[in-house]
Amino acid sequence: MVKEWSNQGLKIGIIAVDPSSPFSGGAFLGDRIRMRNLSGKENIYIRSVASRGSVGGLCDSIYDIVDVMKSFGFDKIIIETVGAGQSEIEVIFVADTILLVLSPNTGDEIQMFKAGIMEIADAYVVNKMDLPEADKFVLQLKNTLSLESETKSKIILPISAIRNENIKNIVNWIDNHFEEIKKTGEYEFRKKRRMKRRVRSSIIRNIDGIIESSNFDFENMIDLKEKIIKYICEVDKNEKIDHIGIAVKSIEDALKLYNDLLGLEITGEEVLEDRGLKVAFIKAGDTRIELLEPLHENSEISGFLAKKGEGIHHIAYEVANVKDIISKSKELGLKPLSDEPKPGAHNTKVVFLHPKTTNGVLVELVEHNNK
């Protein structure tokens, strides 16, 4: 199947999830060996990852790995789960199309009775049709599927990988299925379901991390729940990177990199007359890049450009109350460049800390008035 797409000139990404040891956390990760006839091709990338105790047949970082592969322009992304059981169904929240691969004479007859794994498949691929009992296995599969609900059509795709028979049937069916779910609205439903699951998984993972790393009293469950909720709320209020400020001579020239080449979204521009700045805002994941262009030679970044040239001017952190942070920074021996906050872009209050007291980095502290 991968060869078929590869011969069409498509870029293929393969994510193979291996089970991890519950004690050491290690995994064999031998998928490149198993797929050594594919790993040498320039348009095929194989990434083996460990499940690391994650249930459901995948790993906790699967959504992020898929995002990275998408950003690198892979046309098809194949996810191979840990195994097949009634509870290994997490892939339904990640993939657009789900294939359950079965084969005769390997005990997969038992798989037919595993409700979870049988229910999530869009199609059933029966490999090793070159074996003597293969037709009997397909018939048994048809009978099993016929006992289930008729609201969803059941597609069986018999193949022989070793003989390279009927592989094109799978490729064609996958392409047709994707077009079909886009037309019927099923694709949007699955996309929304995926985002809900991703948020849920992220929250659960963060709570697990808090429980493992914090010294709570686990004897009092009611008190424990309240403390964990309070801790999560406090963590959410902690400082985070608000943006990275980059000094440029010309925003128009700089956008050749950020917009034309990288395709990053420009969310707006603003002129700060009192600071002598023109600012362009660029979305970069969960944070922003701010391109800073001087309006005149007395701009607050003109000296920086003259001395150091274009480059990173400062890193900005979001804070809850910038006045409190100014007082606290003085107590810690840090040097704010002003005793009062200044107006910043997007109706914010800002103050800078002198780089001599912040390890050579100009730090901006930002308070958003709308929060």
Same domain, yes or no, for 137 and 276?
A: no
Q: 151: pLDDT confidence band, cut at 50, 70 and 90?
A: very low
Domain count across the chain: 3
Same domain, yes or no, for 51 and 65?
A: yes
Same domain, yes or no, for 144 and 259?
A: no
Same domain, yes or no, for 12 and 90?
A: yes
Instruction: Tell me if 112 is assigned to some domain.
Output: yes
Same domain, yes or no, for 167 and 265?
A: no
Same domain, yes or no, for 180 and 297?
A: no
Same domain, yes or no, for 11 and 141?
A: yes
Same domain, yes or no, for 27 and 65?
A: yes
Same domain, yes or no, for 209 and 329?
A: no
Closest alpha carbon to 349 in 265, 242, 251, 247: 242
Tokens of 311: 């480059």
Same domain, yes or no, for 206 and 354?
A: no
H/E run at residue 76? strand 76-80
88 against 15, higher pLDDT? 15
What CATH number has the domain bearing residue 124? 3.40.50.300
pLDDT in tens, 158-213: 999 889 899 999 999 999 999 999 999 999 999 999 999 988 888 887 777 777 76
Same domain, yes or no, for 179 and 211?
A: no
**125 pLDDT above the threshold of 50:** yes
Q: Which domain holds residue 307?
A: 239-368
Q: How high is the pLDDT of residue 290?
A: 93
Q: In whole numbers, what is the pLDDT of the chain averaged over residues?
A: 84
CA of residue 141 relative to chain centroid, distance: 36
Q: Beta strand 348-353 with 342-344: parallel, antiparallel or unpaired?
A: antiparallel
Using an 8 Å Cβ cutoff, are 80 and 16 in contact?
Answer: yes
